[in-house]
Amino acid sequence: MSRNRTDHPRDRWLRFGVGAAILAAAFAVLARGPLVPGAAGLVLEHNREHDLQATALFYTDLERMPEIEARLERQRPGQAGAPDGF
């Protein structure tokens, strides 16, 4: 037998509060786990443990970077020495 009554606003707020608490708990549990699974997660964890800031600037700060940039400049479309279809 079903009841045909209107929900009291208090009941709606109670359901909302329980749902919000469940979502907050799920976020808290997920936040404690690894960020990314597999090899990428291991790299990120290593970087965090050793306080490495692996930003784009980190990857461009290489000894060979001037040589790499010069090669890329030569490969720009419309310039001599650019590969076909590039």
Number of domains forming the structure of the chain: 1
For residue 45, being part of any structural domain is answered with: yes
Print the domain residue range for 34. Answer: 9-74
For residue 79, tell me if it sits in a domain: no
Tens-place pLDDT, residues 17-69: 999 999 999 999 888 776 677 777 788 888 888 888 777 766 667 788 888 88
Q: What is the reported pTM? A: 0.37
> ∠43-49-54 over CA atoms, to 5°?
55
Contact indicator for 81, 75 with CB cutoff of 8 Å: yes
39 within domain boundaries: yes
Cα–Cα dist 47/53, whole Å: 7
- Asked if the structure places residue 49 within a domain, the reply is yes
Length of the chain: 86
